A = this chain, B = another copy of it.
Amino acid sequence: MVPKNDLFSKYESVLNNCELFADLTNSQWQDLLSHFHEEKWKKNTCIINHQKFLFHFYIITKGRIKMYNVDEFSEKEHTLFLLKEADVFDLFCLFDGIKHRVYYECLDNTKVLAIPMDRLRNWLNKNPHQYQHFLTYAGKMMRALESNVSQLIFTNITTRLLKLLLENVNSQSKKLEHINDLPNKEIANLIGSTRAVVNRHLQELKQMGSIKMARNQLEIKDINLLLKELEKQNRNHK
Using a CB–CB cutoff of 8 Å, the interface residues on chain A facing chain B are 69, 71, 73-74, 76, 78, 80, 91-98, 100, 128, 131, 134-136, 138-143, 145-146, 148-150, 152-154, 192, 234-235, 237-238
Residues of B within 8 A of A146 (CB): 69, 80, 92, 145
**Please, which residue of chain B has its CB at the minimum distance from the CB of A140?**
B96
Q: Could you list 4 further interchain pairs (A-B, Cβ under 8 angstroms) beyond the known A73-B235, A145-B145, A148-B149?
A: A78-B153, A96-B136, A97-B136, A142-B142
Within the complex, which residue of B73, B136, B237 is in contact with A74, where a contact is CB–CB below 8 Å?
B237
Known: A131-B128, A152-B153. A138 touches B74 (CB 8 A): no
Give the CA-CA distance A152 to B69 in the complex, in Å: 13
What's the nearest-Cβ distance from chain B to residue A86, in Å?
Answer: 19
Tell me whether B192 and A152 are in contact (CB under 8 A). Answer: yes
In the complex the two chains form, what is the Cα distance from A71 to B80 in whole Å?
A: 22
* A143 cross-chain contacts in B, Cβ below 8 A: 92, 96, 98, 100
Closest to A136 in B: B96
Which chain B residues border A97 with CB–CB below 8 Å?
Answer: 136
Query: In this complex, which of A95, A148, A152 has the most chain B Cβ atoms within 10 angstroms of its Cβ?
Result: A95
Q: Which residues on the B side are within 8 Å of A235 (C-beta)?
A: 73
A142 touches B152 (CB 8 A): no
Shortest distance between the CB of A34 and any CB in chain B (Å):
23
Cβ contact within 8 Å between A135 and B96? yes
Closest 5 CB pairs of A and B: A95-B139, A96-B139, A128-B128, A145-B145, A153-B192
A62 to chain B, nearest CB (A): 26
Docked-complex contact A154 and B76, CB < 8 angstroms: yes
Rounded to whole Å, the gap between the CB of A131 and the closest CB of chain B is 4
Interface centre among A131, A139, A143 (most CB of B within 10 A): A139
**Residues on B with beta carbons closer than 8 Å to the beta carbon of A134:** 131, 135
21 interchain pairs, CB-CB under 8 A: A71-B153, A73-B154, A76-B153, A76-B154, A78-B153, A78-B154, A91-B142, A93-B139, A94-B135, A94-B139, A97-B136, A134-B135, A135-B135, A135-B138, A138-B138, A138-B139, A138-B142, A141-B142, A145-B145, A145-B146, A148-B149
Contacts of A92 in B (CB 8 A): 139, 142-143, 146
